[in-house]
């Protein structure tokens, strides 16, 4: 920078603008935000009723809070009557049918006549939530309450309208918190605008990010709070202050009242704070205990364990989990979890191309190795604390995998794929830093990663999910794109499975894919050059 440019900020701003026509879009991130919002409306609208992971049970938790004003328990809570009624009207995946016998499956729905499908949809649309609770236990009743309490604020119309409203509300709030978390972490680690945009692009192009947050669940709040907690831990390590300690304690408190896996992040904060900001340990440790202690004492009182996990109620002990961990085929489990964490087709549990997912994982591995090779020259206290947090959370996921394996008698493969979604922000940031610090080749690989994740999202909607919910579930190939757009039957079926009419789904899909391509073009273009911003 010359003396003249340093003395004249207006000159510097003109010089910055002149280098790249995308500079305004990079700095404002307006296209990325529009892309995220569009995707955050499309995914909840496309997802059929109860196609989200364990969604009817999460929704019943919300209804329990609304109707009774009390917290549910595993031993007493049941599904609300409108949910049970909907099982015979809205088609469900085979995984739901295995969990809840007697539901209408997609295959049975597809075999009906057009008139019969239309009549089922008409009956479904007039169901309204009520406060009658019917049959079966609610196995999500042990979950912490904050996410459900927020959703319980929204008024109920018809069942379909209410579920869609809760989905979109939760998803948009999740987008906002995720955006803040990534931007804050980038600021702490002094990540460039272009590199930060690459992180945001990949995160918002992640199918499992949307599959995890875009249905009625507590994950809409848990996932972005995990990201925010990692950012808060790094912020306290980078520049310790009472304000940052209070922010971290507040995020941990909110997280602990959202999902029990925050115990792992709380432990990471307790371990890293004495090493990097010792004087603030009492604040970081005491506030979450004071705010959340009652909930975990309730778990101990009701269920005999701190987390309230169902496996513990089944008699699975810590000794069983440790024994399982010693006999598990960890490479196989890790491979399965890596693939499922990147792409899982909602409650239908479809899979993506192994070749494509393997390429995604290889690029992530190269970026991580690049980060390790450059950490000696670039590493900071904040990055150390971030690594501690990620290590604790990964350990918790491994414990969950071993717990499921022990509880199922060796049948279950890996932990649930939605558990790891909170790692998207820190892992993508670490990988991006690795590429960014590795010169032109690293930045080329970062561009390739952005292009690949964008490609996967395009195929997710156009070739996978929309054809699946239009009745073309046999093969996820490119010809299905023409099959569902050109077939009146495909549109008719989508009208009866999606939450909005097929015309609205097609319009939202076109807008989302257009914004996805524009976001990728802006991001990839601004990663080019000797000194991209």
Residues 19 and 187 sit within 8 Å (Cβ to Cβ): no
Rounded CA separation 390/268 (Å):
8
DSSP 103: P
pLDDT computed for residue 11 by the predictor? 41
pLDDT computed for residue 19 by the predictor? 53
Q: Domain coordinates of the chain in residue numbers?
A: 55-156, 161-526
pLDDT computed for residue 14 by the predictor? 40
How many residues comprise the chain? 533
Largest Cα–Cα separation, the chain? 77
Q: Residue written as tokens 């054809």?
A: 467
Q: Which of 158, 132, 394, 125 is nearest to 267 (CA)?
A: 394
* Residue 353 φ/ψ region, left for φ over 0, alpha for ψ in the -120 to 50 degree band, beta for the rest: beta
Per-residue pLDDT of the chain (533 residues; tens, 9 = 90+): 443 444 444 444 443 344 555 565 556 689 999 999 999 999 999 999 999 999 999 999 999 999 999 999 987 888 888 999 999 999 999 888 888 888 999 999 999 999 999 999 999 999 998 888 876 688 999 999 999 999 999 998 899 999 999 999 999 999 999 999 999 999 999 889 999 999 999 999 999 999 999 999 999 999 999 999 999 999 999 999 999 999 999 999 999 999 999 999 999 999 988 777 789 999 999 999 999 999 999 999 998 888 877 766 667 788 989 999 999 999 999 999 999 999 999 999 999 999 999 999 999 999 999 999 988 767 788 999 999 999 999 999 999 999 999 988 888 888 899 999 999 999 999 999 999 999 999 999 999 999 999 999 999 999 999 999 998 754 545 555 555 555 577 889 999 999 999 999 999 999 999 999 999 999 999 888 554 45
pTM of the predicted protein model: 0.91
pLDDT computed for residue 25 by the predictor? 56
Q: Which of 384, 132, 12 is nearest to 233 (CA)?
A: 384
Q: Which two tokens stand for residue 464?
A: 């996978």
Rounded CA separation 146/251 (Å):
12
* Residue 439 φ/ψ region, left for φ over 0, alpha for ψ in the -120 to 50 degree band, beta for the rest: left
What b/e string do you get for 95-106 counting C-beta neighbours within 10 Å, with b at 16 or more? ebbeebeebbeb
Residues 59 and 115 sit within 8 Å (Cβ to Cβ): no
Q: Count CB-CB contacts under 10 A for residue 260.
A: 22
* Residue 308 φ/ψ region, left for φ over 0, alpha for ψ in the -120 to 50 degree band, beta for the rest: left
DSSP 328-372: S-HHHHHHHHHHHHH--BGGGTB---HHHHHHHHHHHHHHHHHHH
DSSP 162-194: HHHHHHHHHHHHHHHHHHHHHHHHHHHTT--HH
DSSP 13-54: HHHHHHH-TTHHHHHH-HHHHHHHHHHHHHHHHHSPTT-STT
Rounded CA separation 159/148 (Å):
16
- Distance, C-alpha 485 to centroid of its chain: 29
pLDDT computed for residue 8 by the predictor? 43
DSSP 206-235: -HHHHHHHSSSSSHHHHHHHHHHHHHHHHH
Q: Which residues contact 502 (CB under 8 A, 6 or more apart)?
A: 470, 491, 492, 494, 495
pLDDT computed for residue 414 by the predictor? 86
DSSP 450-472: HHHHHHHHHHIIIIIIHHHHTT-
Q: Which residues contact 212 (CB under 8 A, 6 or more apart)?
A: 53, 219, 223, 418, 421
């Amino acid at each position: 920078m010359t003396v003249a440019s340093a003395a004249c900020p207006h000159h510097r701003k003109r010089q910055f603008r002149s280098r790249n026509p995308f500079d305004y879009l990079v700095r404002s991130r307006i296209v990325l935000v529009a892309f995220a919002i569009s995707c955050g409306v499309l995914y909840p609208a496309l997802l059929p009723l109860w196609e989200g992971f364990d969604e009817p049970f999460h929704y019943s938790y919300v209804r329990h809070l609304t109707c009774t004003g009390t917290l549910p328990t595993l031993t007493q809570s049941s599904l609300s009557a409108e949910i049970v009624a909907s099982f015979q009207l809205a088609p469900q995946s085979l995984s739901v049918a295995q969990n809840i016998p007697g539901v209408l499956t997609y295959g049975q729905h597809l075999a009906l006549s057009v008139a019969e499908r239309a009549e089922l949809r008409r009956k479904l649309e007039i169901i309204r939530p009520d406060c009658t609770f019917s049959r079966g236990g609610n196995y999500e009743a042990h979950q912490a309450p904050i996410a459900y309490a927020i959703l319980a604020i929204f008024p109920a119309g018809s069942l379909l309208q209410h579920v869609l409203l809760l989905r979109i509300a939760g998803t948009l709030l999740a987008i906002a918190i995720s955006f803040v978390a990534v931007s804050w972490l980038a600021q702490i680690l002094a990540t460039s605008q272009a590199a930060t945009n690459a992180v945001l692009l990949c995160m918002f192009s992640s199918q499992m990010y949307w599959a995890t947050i875009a249905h009625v669940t507590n994950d809409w709040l848990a996932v972005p709070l995990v990201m925010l907690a990692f950012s808060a831990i790094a912020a306290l390590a980078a520049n310790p202050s009472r304000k940052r300690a209070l922010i971290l304690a507040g995020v941990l408190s909110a997280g602990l009242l959202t999902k029990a896996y925050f115990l792992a992040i709380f432990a990471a904060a307790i371990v890293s704070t004495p090493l990097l900001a010792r004087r603030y340990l009492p604040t970081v440790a005491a506030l979450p205990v004071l705010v959340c202690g009652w909930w975990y004492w309730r778990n101990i009182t009701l269920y005999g364990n701190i987390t309230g996990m169902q496996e513990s109620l089944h008699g699975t002990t810590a000794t069983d989990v440790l024994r399982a961990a010693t006999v598990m085929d960890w490479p196989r489990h890790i491979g399965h979890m890596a693939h499922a964490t990147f792409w899982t087709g909602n409650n239908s549990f479809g899979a993506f191309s192994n070749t494509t997912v393997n390429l995604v994982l290889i690029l992530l591995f190269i970026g991580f190795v690049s980060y390790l090779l450059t950490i000696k020259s670039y590493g900071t206290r904040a990055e150390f604390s971030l690594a501690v947090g990620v290590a604790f959370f990964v350990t918790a996921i491994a414990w969950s995998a071993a717990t499921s394996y022990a509880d199922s008698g060796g049948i279950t493969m890996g932990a649930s794929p939605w558990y790891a979604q909170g790692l998207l922000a820190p892992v993508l940031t670490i990988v991006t830093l690795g590429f960014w610090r590795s010169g032109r080749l690293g930045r080329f690989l970062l561009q390739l990663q952005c292009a690949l994740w964008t490609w996967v999202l395009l195929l997710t909607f156009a070739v996978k999910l929309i054809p699946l919910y239009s009745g073309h579930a046999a093969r996820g190939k490119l010809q299905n794109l023409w099959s569902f757009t050109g077939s009146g039957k495909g549109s008719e079926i989508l009208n009866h499975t999606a939450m909005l009419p097929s015309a609205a789904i097609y319009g939202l899909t076109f807008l989302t894919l257009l914004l996805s391509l524009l976001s990728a073009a802006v991001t990839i273009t601004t990663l080019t050059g000797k000194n991209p911003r």
